[in-house]
Chains A and B, each alone.
Chain A
Amino acid sequence: MNQTQQAEAPAEGSDAIQRRQRWMHALALAETGALASAWANWTPQPEVEAIRGPEAGLVMVRSRIDAGGNKFNLGEATVVRATVRLHGAPLAADVLGTSYLLGTDLEHARLAAIFDGLLADETLRERVLAEVIAPLELEQAERDAARRADARATLVDFFTVSREHE
């Protein structure tokens, strides 16, 4: 355990955190099936040890009054989380991977934690980013663009009709 690379805790907003937030975002939005096949085809696979979960829980979603004022509690949302330790062959040292994502799909959480762990390894990171994260982000961008195009097709140009006797 003492040789496990603990996720360094640099200052909020640092490059390392922003990079991790970005891949966590891609993993959270991914389809479980996409992650499952990426993991099934991943070689060589390190050993995966479950540290916590995968388990389901809730977060209370907050928003702001009038969109920008004081915070208020809107309602809860289901969340799954997992923490795994990866050790063995391809890794420079043991690593921890963690996931938190919306929904109740425990397998999604487990797979996301595994990839977060792989991404913590500096020798593997570029490969995971290129082979797993980049395609996920591309798919998400395509889904977003399609939704956006559908939405923009409903852009309307209302014109007010002037009254006759005014």
Chain B
Amino acid sequence: MYVAVKGGEKAIANAHALLAKEGRGDAASPRVTYEQIAGQMPVLVARVMNEGSMYDRELAARAILQAQGDVLEAITLVRSYRTTLPRYGYTEPVDTAELPPQRRVSATFKDIPGGQQLGATFDYTHRLFAENGFGGPTIEDENEVEHDEEMPRVADLLGAEALMEPERPRGFEDVEPSDITREPMVFPISRAERLQALARGDEGFLLSLGYSTQRGFGRTHPFVGEVRVGEVEVDYVAPELGFAVPLGRIELTECQMVNQFTGSADTPAQFTRGYGLVFGRAERKAMSMSLVDRALRHEEFAERIVAPAQDEEFVVTHADNVEAAGFVEHLKLPHYVDFQAELGLVRRLNKEFHERADVAASAPAAEETEALA
């Protein structure tokens, strides 16, 4: 049990001032602005938006700056802020294939309609330091290519051959998903709730779990069917207007993982899906999410549960890094009363242990006396 402490106001105020001082660095070098963070650290901003579960580049950048780059602190700031705003409602489902993507690659098919488009990627970079101050290369003559070519989803190409699990199963009803930010989760949860939890889950945790499935802890035989990065239009039906109002665009990264499935008594062999969708440019997160999503679908395919990545409650409850950080880090706060109670207990047990030892030591002597008697 945690018992509150009082006092220390001045020390706490000074500690905060010292924190600000430590975060300022060399006073001779200019302060970083949040606009610079938003523009020049877009991947970090995407991470904070995802795990903060709120799309707003500017606020995420401000959070990163205020948190001195502590990603989890920044995420916590974003999560706290979102609780202060009213929720107007739910948007219409976004269509990830509506606008031309910036990046779209497939590891399963080489020749796909619209082509493989690398977009802005760290892939194929040499992972060597660039010269300090080097602004990076410039885009050279653009290919003589069709700009308006359609880019259908790769998964649909397999779907057309019936080799892919359909995205709408038989008896599809388009149910309203439960919202984990509004209703408490009761396990087992739906795939929709799982995806919501994974989308806001910790990237590192999901990466490790995804990696564990590749290493044999719940094998899923994955291939990247498609990774797509680009903007989508967001529409919201405002109740007082009665039609879908276009709100603007957000950037998303989508990963469709294609997984082997050997078939069962009622289903022929086909490929199955793992799905990842995240805010901004966050490909590693989207890929990890799709691996974990597929691993958690074991029940649908009657797969044996043998690995942590397949344990829904374990994965979902431990993926939230705001909860995780809160519970781990609260340990450093004053636990004096708590600890006093533990200290008393350990002292008493310790005393009892020594008393027993003393009795045991004197017991043989007692036997001897009896024998002599």
CA distance A7 to B200 in the complex (A): 38
Q: Of the 9-residue stretches B171-179, B259-267, B330-338, B362-370, which lies at the interface with chain A?
A: B171-179
**Contact of B219 with A by CB under 8 A:** no
**Contact of B108 with A by CB under 8 A:** no
B82 / chain A contacts, CB cutoff of 8 Å: 58, 76
Is there contact, CB below 8 Å, between A24 and B246? yes
Q: Give B45 Cβ to nearest chain A Cβ, in Å.
A: 14
**Chain A contact residues: over half helix, strand or loop, or mixed?**
mixed
Within A40-71, which residues are at the interface with B (CB < 8 Å)? 56-71
CA distance A157 to B115 in the complex (A): 8
0/1 string, A63-97, CB within 8 A of B gives 1: 11111111111111111010000000000000000
**Contact of A152 with B by CB under 8 A:** yes
Q: Of the 9-residue stretches B5-13, B87-95, B307-315, which lies at the interface with chain A?
A: B87-95
**Contact of B199 with A by CB under 8 A:** yes
**Contact of A29 with B by CB under 8 A:** yes
CA distance A28 to B245 in the complex (A): 10
Is there contact, CB below 8 Å, between B168 and A154? no
CA distance A65 to B59 in the complex (A): 28
**Chain B residues engaging chain A, CB cutoff 8 angstroms:** 49-50, 53-56, 58-59, 82, 85-94, 96-97, 100-103, 110, 115-120, 139-143, 145, 147, 153, 155, 167-169, 172, 174-177, 179-181, 191-193, 195-196, 199-200, 233-234, 236, 238, 240-250, 252, 254, 256, 273, 275, 277-279
Q: Give A65 Cβ to nearest chain B Cβ, in Å.
A: 6
**Contact of A32 with B by CB under 8 A:** no
Is there contact, CB below 8 Å, between A56 and B192? no
Is there contact, CB below 8 Å, between B118 and A156? yes
CA distance A71 to B86 in the complex (A): 22
Q: Give A133 Cβ to nearest chain B Cβ, in Å.
A: 13
**Contact of A1 with B by CB under 8 A:** no
B177 / chain A contacts, CB cutoff of 8 Å: 62, 70-73
Is there contact, CB below 8 Å, between B90 and A59? yes
The verdict on A63 contacting B93 (CB below 8 Å), with A100-B247, A151-B100 known, is yes
**Contact of A153 with B by CB under 8 A:** yes
Is there contact, CB below 8 Å, between B59 and A75? no
Q: Give B349 Cβ to nearest chain A Cβ, in Å.
A: 49
A57 / chain B contacts, CB cutoff of 8 Å: 85-88
Is there contact, CB below 8 Å, between A65 and B56? no
CA distance A150 to B275 in the complex (A): 27
Is there contact, CB below 8 Å, between A60 and B179? yes
CA distance A17 to B278 in the complex (A): 31
Q: Give A17 Cβ to nearest chain B Cβ, in Å.
A: 5
Beta-carbon nearest neighbor of A72 in chain B: B192
The verdict on A148 contacting B167 (CB below 8 Å), with A63-B277, A67-B275 known, is no
Is there contact, CB below 8 Å, between B90 and A158? no
**Contact of A5 with B by CB under 8 A:** no
**Chain A residues engaging chain B, CB cutoff 8 angstroms:** 7, 9, 12, 17, 20-21, 24-25, 28-29, 56-79, 81, 98, 100-104, 145, 147-160
Other-chain residue from B49, B155, B200 in contact with A66 (beta carbon distance below 8 A) = B155
Other-chain residue from B90, B168, B245 in contact with A68 (beta carbon distance below 8 A) = B168
The verdict on A154 contacting B118 (CB below 8 Å), with A66-B256, A68-B167, A77-B56 known, is yes
Is there contact, CB below 8 Å, between B103 and A102? no
Is there contact, CB below 8 Å, between A71 and B176? yes
The verdict on A9 contacting B242 (CB below 8 Å), with A73-B196, A101-B247 known, is yes
A71 / chain B contacts, CB cutoff of 8 Å: 93, 174-177, 192
Is there contact, CB below 8 Å, between A69 and B179? no
Is there contact, CB below 8 Å, between B248 and A74? no
Other-chain residue from B50, B139, B273 in contact with A150 (beta carbon distance below 8 A) = B139
B242 / chain A contacts, CB cutoff of 8 Å: 9, 12
Is there contact, CB below 8 Å, between A98 and B247? no
Is there contact, CB below 8 Å, between A60 and B90? yes
Is there contact, CB below 8 Å, between B254 and A67? yes
Other-chain residue from B54, B118, B155, B174 in contact with A76 (beta carbon distance below 8 A) = B54
B196 / chain A contacts, CB cutoff of 8 Å: 72-75
Q: Across the A-B interface, give the 3 residue pairs with the lowest CB-CB distance, nearest first.
A: A72-B192, A77-B55, A102-B248
The verdict on A61 contacting B245 (CB below 8 Å), with A71-B93, A151-B119, A153-B143 known, is no
Is there contact, CB below 8 Å, between B172 and A152? no
Other-chain residue from A60, A150, A155, A157 in contact with B91 (beta carbon distance below 8 A) = A60
Q: Give B291 Cβ to nearest chain A Cβ, in Å.
A: 14
